[in-house]
Copies of this chain bind each other. A is one copy, B any other.
Amino acid sequence: MTDAKEFLQRLDDAAQRTEAALDRLLASEPLRGEIARPARLLAAMRYASLGGGKRLRPFLAIESARLFGVEGEWPLRVGCALEMVHCYSLAHDDLPAMDDDDLRRGRPTTHKAFDEATAILAGDGLLTYAFDVLADEATHADAQARAKLVLALARAAGLGGMVGGQALDLEAESAARSLSQEEILTLQAMKTGALLRFAVDAGAILGHASAAETQALSRYGAALGAAFQVADDILDAAGDTAALGKRAGKDAERGKATLVSLLGLDGAIARRDRLVEEAIAALDATGFGPATQVLKDAAVFVAARKN
């Protein structure tokens, strides 16, 4: 493992670059083909996406692309698209009709700071903008790569990925029975795993990776995503609201089956650590050697994080 301080520095650098790039993309000036950018909607989109979060997904895209020597604006824009999708999903999930949360990253949720209609539209606007960003020539010189990014993000974020995972999650809460372990794993792979995996896959697409490289990175992304989610269950069971920036203990309160309720805290921790090992082994299979260290550190970080 590299120096923990150095890893956190790189994570923070990526977060700051992402924040600045999102700020530029969410400027008041309309792009070519846009008619106008309504001020209140834009303000809500900025509120929902700026000023918060670890920006883990952009970091993964940036570091995955770096393995292929791709740096600069391209992976940064992919990172912005990822955050747009991630933040839209939070704004919609927080709505009264969904998880009904008032607090997110220690601030009022978007529908609390604005209103429900604006939060719905801000989410719609961010989701749409993510595909704009990926399809734009500024994201890659090769249109084939841009089309691949759009397709992969849509598959990860849509019906068969993130949106589907949220639908399953809501169904599980209202169902009379608890989910089986297999059902929880599917739900988590869809709701959280798919987008994290896309972040890593995006680096491979940007770098025109070989099939073997793509496959190894994708295995890393899948293991990392699964580790992230079991760590989330552990945090919800053991964490505190102040550190999380959102309410802790929600899962138990709602009688929701999680990996902690199914495997016990020790079992969940063992699973988490095994997934980190899998993620690291997958990186060793890429053939990139020491260059993968920062992504290995990311897997450890995701598992051990406090919020």
Chain A interface (Cβ within 8 Å of chain B)? 30-38, 40-42, 45, 88, 92, 95, 97-98, 115-118, 120-121, 123-125, 127-129, 131-132, 134-137, 142-144, 146-148, 150-161, 163-164, 166-168, 170-171, 186, 189-190, 194
Mostly helix, strand, loop or mixed at chain A's interface? Answer: helix
B121, B147, B152, B190: the one within 8 Å of A150 (CB): B147
Tell whether, in the assembled complex, residue B120 and residue A120 are in contact, meaning their CB atoms are under 8 Å apart.
yes
Tell whether, in the assembled complex, residue B167 and residue A118 are in contact, meaning their CB atoms are under 8 Å apart.
yes
A–B complex contacts, Cβ < 8 Å, 14 sampled: A31-B160, A33-B161, A34-B161, A35-B190, A38-B164, A41-B163, A41-B164, A45-B159, A95-B117, A97-B116, A97-B120, A131-B131, A132-B150, A135-B147
Chain B residues within 8 Å of A186, by CB: 35-36
Tell whether, in the assembled complex, residue A152 and residue B120 are in contact, meaning their CB atoms are under 8 Å apart.
no
Alpha-carbon distance between A201 and B227 when the two chains are bound, in angstroms: 45
Chain B residues within 8 Å of A36, by CB: 160, 164, 186, 190
Chain B residues within 8 Å of A153, by CB: 131
Tell whether, in the assembled complex, residue B135 and residue A151 are in contact, meaning their CB atoms are under 8 Å apart.
yes
Alpha-carbon distance between A266 and B263 when the two chains are bound, in angstroms: 72
Chain B residues within 8 Å of A143, by CB: 142-144, 146-147
Tell whether, in the assembled complex, residue A155 and residue B190 are in contact, meaning their CB atoms are under 8 Å apart.
no
Given contacts A38-B164, A164-B36, A164-B38, are A150 and B124 in contact (CB under 8 A)? no
Tell whether, in the assembled complex, residue A154 and residue B132 are in contact, meaning their CB atoms are under 8 Å apart.
yes
Tell whether, in the assembled complex, residue A156 and residue B33 are in contact, meaning their CB atoms are under 8 Å apart.
yes
